[in-house]
A and B are shown apart, each in its own frame.
Chain A
Amino acid sequence: MSEPADTQLVPPSSVVLVSGGSRGLGLAIVTDLLDAGVRVAAFARTITPELEKLAAEHPDRVHVGSVDVTDLRAAQSFVREVEQRLGPIDGIVNNAAMGQDSLHAHTATEDIARIIETNLTAPLQLTRLVIRRMLAKGLRGRIVNITSICGQRGFPGLVAYSATKGGMDAATRSLARELGGRMLVNSVAPGFFASEMSAVLGPTQLDQIVRRTPTGHLTEPVEVTPVVRMLLREHTNINGQVIVVDGAASI
Chain B
Amino acid sequence: MNELSRAQIRDLMAQVLKNQDKELPADDAAQLREIGFRSLDFSELALRVEDETGEELNFDAPGLRRIATVGDVLDFLVELQHQ
Query: Which of A's residues lie within 8 Å of B, judged by CB?
Result: 101-103, 105-108, 111, 156-157, 200, 202, 204-205
Contact indicator A202/B47 (Cβ below 8 Å): no
Give the interface of B toward A (CB within 8 A): 39, 43, 46-47, 56-62, 64-65
The reply to whether A106 and B62 contact each other, CB–CB distance below 8 Å, is no
| Contact A200:B62 (CB < 8 A) given known A103-B39, A105-B43, A105-B47 | yes
User: With A101-B61, A103-B39 given, can you name 13 additional A-B contacts, CB distance below 8 Å?
Assistant: A102-B60, A102-B61, A105-B47, A106-B46, A106-B57, A107-B58, A108-B56, A111-B58, A156-B61, A200-B62, A202-B62, A202-B65, A205-B65
Within 8 Å CB of B58, what residues of A?
Answer: 102, 106-108, 111
- Closest partner residue, chain A, to B66 (CB atom): A202
16 pairs across A/B with beta carbons < 8 Å?
A101-B60, A101-B61, A102-B59, A103-B43, A103-B64, A105-B43, A106-B43, A106-B46, A106-B57, A106-B58, A108-B56, A111-B58, A200-B61, A202-B62, A202-B65, A204-B65
Is B56 in contact with A103, judged by CB distance below 8 angstroms? no
Please, which residues of chain A bring their CB within 8 A of the CB of B57?
106
- Residues in chain A near residue B56, CB distance under 8 A: 108
- Among candidates B46, B47, B61, residue contacting A157 with C-beta atoms closer than 8 Å: B61
* B44 (CB) vs chain A CBs: closest residue: A105
Number of A-B contacts (CB under 8 A): 31
Q: A108 to B58: give the CA distance in the assembly, Å.
A: 6
Interface centre among B47, B59, B62 (most CB of A within 10 A): B62
Query: Which residues of the partner chain A approach B64 to less than 8 Å between Cβ atoms?
Result: 103
- Bound Cα distance from A106 to B44, whole angstroms: 11
> Nearest chain A CB to B62's CB is how many angstroms away?
5
B-chain residues with CB within 8 Å of residue A202 when the two chains form the complex: 62, 65
A27 to B47, CA, bound (A): 41
Rounded to whole angstroms, the CA-CA distance of A101 and B63 in the bound complex is 10
CB of B40, distance to nearest CB on chain A (Å): 8
Q: How far is the CA of A90 from the CA of B54 in the complex (A)?
A: 53
B47 nearest CB neighbor, chain A only: A105
A103 CA to B45 CA, complexed, in Å: 14
Flag if A103 contacts B61 (CB, 8 Å).
yes
Distance to closest chain A CB from B45 (angstroms) = 11
Measured between beta carbons, the chain B residues less than 8 angstroms from A107 are 58
Whole-angstrom distance from the CB of B67 to the nearest CB of chain A?
Answer: 12
Residue of B nearest to A199 (CB): B62
Do A101 and B43 have beta carbons less than 8 Å apart?
Answer: no
Nearest B residue to A201 via CB reads: B62
A108 to B43 Cα, complex, angstroms: 14
